[in-house]
Copies of this chain bind each other. A is one copy, B any other.
Amino acid sequence: MLAAERRTHLLDLLARTGKVVAKDVAAELGISEDSVRRDLRDLAAEGLCQRVYGGALPASPAVVDYDARRELGTDGKRKVAAVAAGLVRPGGSVILDGGTTALAVARALPAELTCTVITHSPTIATALIEHPRAELFLLGGRVFKHSAVTCGAAAVEAAQNVSADLCLLGVTGVHPDAGLTTADADEAAMKRALSARAAETYILASSEKIGTASPYRVLPWEKVTGLITDAGPHDATVDRLGALGVEVLAAR
């Protein structure tokens, strides 16, 4: 029984039956209650369930399975998001890109973390309205529907008026030769504008992005502080990136 397998099983159980009893699962899978508790604690920390005495309940009733799993996507995205969220310092500011991985980061921000989040994604803004302590700044502009973010001249101009410690960018492709790429030219320009307004830029790249490329170049490697990925530590592509001098943060 793999750890990831266990976690999937827990989420599945949660979605199907609406609850998880630590004791029962431990007996069913033949593992200790401690492991189950540890898993539930981790899942709760990522906002995927609500920890209660004796087990766990779905995070928001009936939403976990339907939206969260589809929107949050793969286990890899969650891991990447957790590491990325950890880069945000208390009292610090972060520019958060759009996309599903960035949304996962927003959901992974600890509730007690006081910080400023700047984003061009209405989806992420909406998600963070629930956050008790995050100060939110939304970059306006024409909404590019395909990615659900604002883009274009107005959005780039709006970005010129903000600054942050950290910028977390999602991309659609990470390739040693092609670099960081995305599917739309305007979007690529917007990502460049965002990155330029932060002291440090990290790329959110769950493993399915690694080794692929899209038409439009976002940033050269020199402008990137590091890459956050859940790809194996000896993935060929990641190795080549490491050789290029890119800092790689492992999310595992």
A residues lining the B interface (CB < 8 Å): 2-5, 8, 19, 21, 50, 52-55, 57, 61, 120, 122-123, 125-126, 128-129, 135-143, 145, 148, 150, 154-155, 158, 161
Contacts and interface: CB of A to CB of B under 8 A. Distances in A.
A112 to B, nearest CB: 16
> Which among A50, A138, A148 has the highest number of chain B CB atoms within 10 Å?
A138
B143 A138 contact: yes
A145 B133 CA distance: 10
A140 B143 contact: no
A16 to B, nearest CB: 15
A122 B137 CA distance: 11
Assembly of this chain: how many copies? 2
Contact of A5 (B57, B135, B145, B150): B57
A145 B129 contact: yes
Given A4-B52, A21-B2, A57-B4, A140 B142 contact: no
Q: Across the A-B interface, give the 6 residue pairs with the lowest CB-CB distance, nearest first.
A: A140-B140, A4-B52, A136-B143, A122-B122, A122-B125, A139-B140
Contacts of A139: 140
Contact of A137 (B123, B126, B142): B142
A196 B120 CA distance: 25
A122 B150 CA distance: 11
A126 B124 CA distance: 9
A55 B2 contact: yes
